């Protein structure tokens, strides 16, 4: 992926490696600007200063002898770092692109809980460079406008207990488009690695020999409670939190959560995908020893104009959510932090 945090400095093609021949007085900024574009960076210098030695010691850059460096080994040769730093030239020169092969890749982009403003800068840059966007129904759909007008847009959303695209088909789409040389952005809500099947898509691409990268997203497990004014941790109230899936209920053999351990852990419990199973989850936690009057909340459509929420004791929260007409997508929060910021 090529991100461009400074304007006016496009990189030709899809380079993977860069050689800097004149690092200049802003060597650290030069290296990091290139690293942000996803490049492997080598600096050709016979006398690296302390900053370059530090970068090399951290594995961020390779140092090379200028007299023994073959420019043909690199996709891009940077002879002028001015374009990376707003025109403050270190030395005259240019950026040369070496001939390279076109190859596709897949970027797993977490889009956040829904509002476009919670998409990360890296996610936005990935979309701007996309040839194909494969997106879910809970992704920030307004972000599709960031992709080039001629980019292919492929909806693969899953509607609860309704239409859905099988995961195997999604994997096949990612691999197929990338094999054609496309930059494929897989856009979904929240974070790809928090109940987003990002791991499955990573493995499918890797097993097919497709380069795959992750752009983390703001997970709804933390963001949605925060948008509702509920911290998942609070000093002197709870030392941590745990996130569990409520996709299937406690009695389903596919659900392997140790509810007894959770009931006694003293942690905030965040339940994703648990609207339909919340009553059974609450009942199981109470049976396992969590007091029925533990504060709880359900927040639906977090961050969107349609956001709604209810708070109630644990043993009543499922009924309260149902009476309020709250449906998926929703996040349930169980624990004393639900009441931590409530005046009283």
> Which residues does the annotation mark as catalytic?
136, 158
The CA-atom distances, in angstroms, between 98 and each of 12, 13, 76, 80, 83 are 9, 10, 6, 16, 18
The CA-atom distances, in angstroms, between 190 and each of 220, 256, 259, 275 are 5, 23, 25, 17
Which residues, 6+ apart, have CB-to-CB distance to 110 below 8 Å?
120, 123, 188, 189, 190, 191, 192, 193, 196, 198, 215, 216, 217, 218, 219
Reference 252, options 221, 284, 275; nearest CA is 284
User: Please, which residues bridge with residue 64 across strands?
Assistant: 44
> Do the beta carbons of residue 286 and residue 260 sit within 8 Å?
no
> Do the beta carbons of residue 302 and residue 227 sit within 8 Å?
yes
Residue entry with tokens 């933390």: 222
Q: 247: how many CB neighbours lie within 10 A of its CB? A: 16
């Amino acid at each position: 992926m090529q991100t461009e945090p400074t304007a006016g400095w496009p990189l030709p093609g899809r380079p993977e490696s860069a050689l800097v021949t004149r690092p200049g007085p802003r060597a650290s900024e030069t290296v990091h600007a290139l690293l942000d574009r996803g490049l492997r960076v080598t600096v050709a210098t016979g006398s690296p200063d302390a900053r370059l030695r530090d970068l090399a010691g951290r594995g961020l850059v390779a140092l090379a002898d200028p007299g023994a460096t073959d420019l043909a080994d690199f996709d891009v040769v940077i002879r002028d770092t001015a374009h990376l730093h707003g025109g403050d030239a270190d030395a005259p020169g240019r950026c040369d692109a070496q001939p390279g092969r076109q190859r596709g890749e897949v970027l797993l982009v977490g889009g956040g809980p829904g509002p476009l403003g919670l998409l990360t800068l890296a996610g936005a840059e990935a979309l701007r460079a996309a040839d194909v966007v494969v997106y879910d129904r809970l992704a920030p759909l307004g972000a599709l406008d960031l992709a080039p007008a001629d980019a292919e847009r492929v909806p693969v959303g899953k509607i609860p207990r309704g239409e859905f695209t099988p995961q195997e088909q999604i994997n096949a789409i990612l691999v197929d488009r990338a094999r054609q040389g496309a930059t494929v952005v897989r856009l979904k809500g929240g974070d790809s690695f928090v109940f987003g099947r990002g791991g499955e898509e990573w493995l499918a691409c890797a097993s097919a020999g497709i380069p795959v990268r992750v752009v983390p997203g703001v997970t709804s497990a933390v963001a949605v409670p925060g948008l509702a004014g509920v911290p998942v941790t609070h000093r002197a109230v709870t030392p941590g939190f745990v996130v569990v899936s409520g996709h299937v209920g406690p009695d389903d053999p596919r659900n392997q959560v140790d509810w007894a351990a959770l009931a006694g852990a003293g942690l905030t419990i965040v339940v994703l995908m648990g609207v339909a199973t919340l009553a059974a989850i609450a009942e199981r936690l109470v049976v396992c020893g969590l007091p029925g009057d533990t504060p709880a909340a359900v927040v639906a459509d977090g961050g969107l104009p349609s956001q709604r929420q209810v708070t109630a004791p644990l043993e009543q929260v499922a009924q309260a959510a149902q009476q309020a007409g709250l449906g998926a997508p929703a996040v349930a929060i169980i624990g004393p932090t639900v009441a931590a910021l409530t005046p009283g």
